[in-house]
Amino acid sequence: MLEGSISCAHCHRPQEACGVFGIVEQTGHQCSADIYAALFALQHRGQQSTGMSVAHNQVITNHKDMGLVTEVFPAAVLEGIKGSMGIGHVHYAKLAQNNRENAQPLTVRHARGTLCIAANGSITNFNALRQELAARGAIFQTTSDTEVVAHLIANGTQESDLAAAITNALPALEGAYSMVLMSQDRLFAARDPRGFRPLCIGRRGDAWMVASECCALNSVEATFVRDVAPGELVEITAHGPVTISQMPARPHICIFEYIYFARPDSIIDGTSVYDARHKAGRLLAQLAPVDADLVVGVPDSGTIAAIGYAEEAGIPFGLAFDKNRYIGRTFIAPTQALRATAVRMKLSVIEANVKGRRIVMTDDSIVRGTTCANIVKMLKAAGAKEVHVRISSPPYKWPCYFGTDISDAAELTANTHSVEELCAHIGADSLAYLPQEKLPELVQGSTSFCQGCFSGQYPK
């Protein structure tokens, strides 16, 4: 699906995002190795399934399955995928949609050949489009909204070439999408007019690439060239990017890309993800100071905010947690007891660093409160004298319709508890959030971002 994620399901964080990658090379027939490396760099955006489609001499080889990149593409499989052009995908889906049929890239046959699509986001008019297409005779094999996109484009190829068919199909899509599309001999990339999800272009010698984040470009020693503009459809050729069409843009990138979703070494639409998280920590120290002995972050997304808080407050930064790096795919724990066990499996407290100390603990968000309460409990059990929780985003109160899997406001603890009540609920000595009015400071003063999950006001 166009939906996807980075976070572990048992952690009760917002879950979003897939990762996409595409490449065209003038020479060589082993682009699958580059796709593999890029998908590995994007693994944080989706951990449930992965796949790639590679073209060679007008023939497309597809391979996808459930699992991590290293599991789906052992060396023997990777070496057998030859070609100089290809696309790849890492995927997260809600539990009911987490199956091999929904893994991407999605491949369809149409009037003029074959089309492969790898996408990230969520088409909000998916149901209406699907019903309309089904009434016209379309047969669907998956529950993915990417398949709706494929049908729209395939129908258009009966009267137009592929570039025109894609151009004509995109205005019918509402919601969020960043996608790569490939035929036997052409590669395209498209980003919705609001640019909800990131997409960028890079180059390495005679190879041109497009990726969800520039960290994927770094992994294959490519140089960032530019972002795909909101509303832009671009063809990636062996000579570089060519803009095919440009819809009127109304930029509103998801603010959670900076707070949590993206990797800290990525730069999205001109803003460093690391700088945004570091700034959030500094702002929290200015706005919610506390006497403490140590500042710590919940791995990994809370760590950079903790560094910023510590520097601004003049309090030492330290490590309170050891993260188990050997836990592979995460799982959805059905009971509270199992969810608490899952947290302890992933994190253990470094007792020598916290015992007898007053701790400031930063994290990116509180969605349901369960995980935060377990971590506070672990710190106090290890001897922490006080635990003061600082959250580098505002209270999460509203559902998201653009690719994040929080769809019910009743799930969100900020709607059922005041800050004081939530502080008591998680067992903290104090709790403070980053105020919503401070969000523009994270993205260099820009207000061109979506913050609907905090405000309930969604881009029109």
Q: pLDDT tens digit string along 345-381? A: 888 999 999 999 999 999 999 988 888 999 999 999 9
Judge if 80 and 36 occupy the same domain: yes
Regarding whether 107 and 240 lie in a shared domain, the answer is: yes
- C-alpha radius of gyration, the chain, whole number: 22
Structure tokens given for 384: 């922490």
Which amino acid is located at 106 in the chain? L
- 90 plus 223 within the same structural domain: yes
Higher pLDDT, 373 or 404: 373
Mean pLDDT of all residues in 43-60: 94
Q: According to the model, what pLDDT value does residue 17 have?
A: 66
Q: Does residue 28 have a pLDDT over 80?
A: no
Provide mean pLDDT across the span 28-47: 93
Tell me, what DSSP letter sits at residue 17?
-
Bridge partners of 89, per DSSP, are: 20, 51
321 in the same domain as 220:
no
Neighbouring C-alpha atoms within 13 Å toward the C-beta of 405: 26
Handedness of CA 44, 45, 50, 53 (dihedral sign): negative
User: Of 200, 217, 251, which residue constitutes the final position of a domain?
Assistant: 251
Q: What is the DSSP letter of 125?
A: T
Q: Does 425 lie in the same domain as 357?
A: yes
- Cβ atoms of 345 and 378 within 8 Å: the answer is no
Residue 102 DSSP symbol? G
From residue 343, alpha-carbon distances to 46, 147, 360, 428 in Å are 19, 36, 19, 17
Are 392 and 421 in the same domain?
A: yes
The boundaries of the domain holding residue 122 are 9-251
179 assigned to some structural domain: yes
* Percent of the chain predicted with pLDDT > 90: 72
| pLDDT surpasses 90 at 137 | no
358, part of any domain: yes
What pLDDT is stored for residue 203 in this prediction?
97
Which residues are part of the catalytic machinery? 18
Structure tokens at 375: 């971590």
Is 60 exceeded by the pLDDT of residue 72?
A: yes
Amino acid of residue 149: V
> 257 in a domain, yes or no?
no
The DSSP bridge partners found for residue 108 are 115
pLDDT at 139: 86
Amino acid code (one letter) for 178: S
Residue 363 has φ and ψ, to the nearest 5°, of: -150, 165
Q: In this model, does residue 336 exceed pLDDT 60? A: no
Residues 184 and 126 reside in one and the same domain: yes
Please state the domain count of the chain.
2
The tally of CA atoms less than 13 A away on the side-chain side of residue 218 is 10
Look up tokens 């971002």; give the residue. 449
Of the pLDDT bands very low, low, confident and very high (cuts 50, 70, 90), residue 330 is very low
Q: Which two tokens mark 177?
A: 């999408």
The CATH code of the domain that includes 22 is 3.60.20.10
Q: Please tell me whether residue 181 adopts helix, strand or coil conformation.
A: strand
Q: Go through the chain and tell me how many residues it has.
A: 460
Q: What is the mean pLDDT of the chain?
A: 89
* 290 and 223 fall within a common domain: no
The residue with greater pLDDT, 17 or 140, is: 140
Specify the range with the lowest mean pLDDT, choosing from 54-68, 196-210, 285-299, 365-379.
365-379
Q: How many CA atoms lie within 13 A of 293 on its CB side?
A: 12
Determine the 3-state secondary structure of 428 from DSSP.
coil
Is residue 460, in this structure, part of any structural domain at all?
A: no
Note whether 243 and 318 are same-domain residues: no
Cβ count near 96 (within 10 Å): 8
In a domain, 266, yes or no: no
Classify residue 258: in a domain, yes or no. no
Assess contact for 207 and 38: CB atoms under 8 A: no
Residue type, 247: M
Residue 186 counted as domain residue:
yes
Query: Is the domain of 108 the same as that of 224?
Result: yes
Return the minimum-mean-pLDDT range out of 7-21, 262-276, 353-367, 410-424.
7-21
CB-based contacts of 98: which residues, under 8 Å, 6+ apart? 48, 49, 66
Q: Is 187 helix (H, G, I), strand (E, B) or coil?
A: strand
| 377 and 283, same domain (yes or no) | yes
CATH of the domain at 294: 3.40.50.2020
Q: How far apart are CA 213 and CA 44, in angstroms?
A: 11
> Which has more confidence, 382 or 401?
382
What would the pLDDT profile of 174-212 be if each residue is shown by its tens digit? 999 999 999 999 999 999 999 999 999 999 999 999 999
Quote the pLDDT of residue 332.
44
Residue 229: DSSP 8-state: P
Same domain, yes or no, for 314 and 431? yes
264 in a domain, yes or no? no
